[in-house]
Structure 1
Amino acid sequence: MASVKPPKKSETIEIRLSHEAKAAFMERCRHERLTASEAIRLFIDDQLDPRAPPRRRRAVSWRILAASVAGAVFGLGAAAPSFAWATQNTRPVFDQLDRNHDGVLSYEEFRTR
């Protein structure tokens, strides 16, 4: 079944406003996770048909969420061997490097390993 594409957005409206108003509007759009164009289109749609339920862009797409979860799983899987090695008892190796047994590994002690 063929999907119906929305009409292309080919028309523009130019408006003039102060820098402060534009900055405040852009900040509000960022806060609501909308582009300025999306916010203005939503306003116009609401003015043309105020009885229609408000449309909002989904805050987080399921694809972004799935990619984040997959990245976390693979990232932790790749890091697991290094976590396991770090939990092994490394005290004998440290004691061997700490030649004067002061509990601190100096640069000279490290360099002579």
Structure 2
Amino acid sequence: MTNPRAPKKSETIEVRVPHGAKAAFAARCREQGVTVSEAVRAFMEREIGTPGRARPRLWHAAAALAAGLALGAVAAPSLAQTRTDHSPRAIFTQMDRNGDGVLSYDEFRR
């Protein structure tokens, strides 16, 4: 008797979220020992009621996804109002920690 093959993962979903929410969720997934894809798939399997091979700890990552998306939805309007100057001068000034007009290797590395 052969084992049934798992369905091929050929479909993708694009979700637009703030960078901070994505980074925080990815970090939480790493802490839980799962990939972002595993966490999202486990969440979907629970929502649509399909039995999955998801590990129990995926629940925490999926809950973090939901919390991260909710936080992103709340924080996005206030973040959108914050204007960041991405001009070369502004970036140099931010990197030049001691303000001497010269960028040292240590300043660049940070």
The interval holding the TM-score normalised by the smaller chain is 0.3 to 0.5
Report the TM-score when normalising by structure 1.
Answer: 0.45
Q: TM-score, normalised by structure 2?
A: 0.46
